[in-house]
Amino acid sequence: MNRVLVTGGAGFLGSHLCDRLIADGADLLCVDNFFTGSKRNIAHLLNQPYFELMRHDVTFPLYAEVDQIFNLACPASPVHYQFDPVQTTKTSVHGAINMLGLAKRVKARILQSSTSEVYGDPEVHPQTEAYWGKVNPIGIRSCYDEGKRCAETLFFDYHRQHQVDIKVVRIFNTYGPRMHPNDGRVVSNFIVQALLGQDITIYGDGQQTRSFCYVDDLVEAMMRMMASRDGFTGPVNIGNPVEMTMLELAENVLRLTGSSAKLIFKPLPQDDPKQRQPDIALAKKELSWEPKISLADGLKETIAYFRTVVQG
């Protein structure tokens, strides 16, 4: 039985990963400081004999005997990571140092959940892992973008200097049940506004693009990455390469919710990327992975979840 640590385990992605690990028979330690995570997300796991929950902030050292570490701890939406940008950077950087130190001590394999934000507002489209990115180091998004870039630096330096067994995934836009209704991300924003009959907020002209991956597909990729061959460190892009405009996404949400909400347009936030699409050739080659769940099917599940959250 694998002893597995998941940091940020009560968050949106972390809780779905915990579900999968328990289903696969792991002995699981879920760690979260509940800044953006919620006990509601993992309440159904609390009576599982091999599930343990610990309130802990990864900016402080943690001592545990584990075989694998999934490091997901960090607020991931602009609303949350810009609330306390210094703490956001600390979570990425100090958190990486503390988790890498633990992995070094107990000789655990450690997976870092990095982000497509390391590419910034890209000049290369779609983005491959070889692209170094175009990031504003002093902008309002820098706490997250540069924090995650520094975490990647630390992972590869621990690998080179201390032979720590690392895996790095760069996660592109992901959606699904348990997203925070007020996280400011486009999928949750559109769905909540549509269900409440509020105007749907489009930033800019709505022609900026994103690619959306359903959470179950993402978790499958993370599991495959953790189990991938020795010596394959990544980074590897994980996301859905089907690209669409924000206007197209809004139209999909309106159709699936049956909402009569109207579209309104507001200025584009600072440093908001105009395009974002993963090149997943490496994931296909090394992990035999590509997303399986269509946007329509994924949105139906997500909308059903939000109906219970915002409409009771």
Active site positions, annotated: 144
> What phi, psi does 298 have (nearest 5°)?
-65, -40
The pair of three-digit structure tokens given for residue 123, joined into one six-digit string:
């000049």
Give the bridge partners for 209, in sequence order.
245
Residue whose structure tokens are 């810009």: 82
Give the bridge partners for 31, in sequence order.
7, 54
Q: How far apart are CA 17 and CA 70, in angstroms?
A: 9
Q: How far apart are CA 11 and CA 195, in angstroms?
A: 23
Strand 200-203 to 236-238 pairing = unpaired
> What phi, psi does 67 have (nearest 5°)?
-100, -30
Contact 18, 83 (CB under 8 A): no
Q: How far apart are CA 218 and CA 135, in angstroms?
A: 24
The pair of three-digit structure tokens given for residue 256, joined into one six-digit string:
């699936």
Name the burial class of residue 243, with classes exposed (0-12), middle (13-18) and buried (19+) by CB atoms within 10 angstroms of its CB.
Answer: middle
> What phi, psi does 142 have (nearest 5°)?
-65, -30
Residue whose structure tokens are 């994924």: 298
Q: How far apart are CA 236 and CA 287, in angstroms?
A: 10
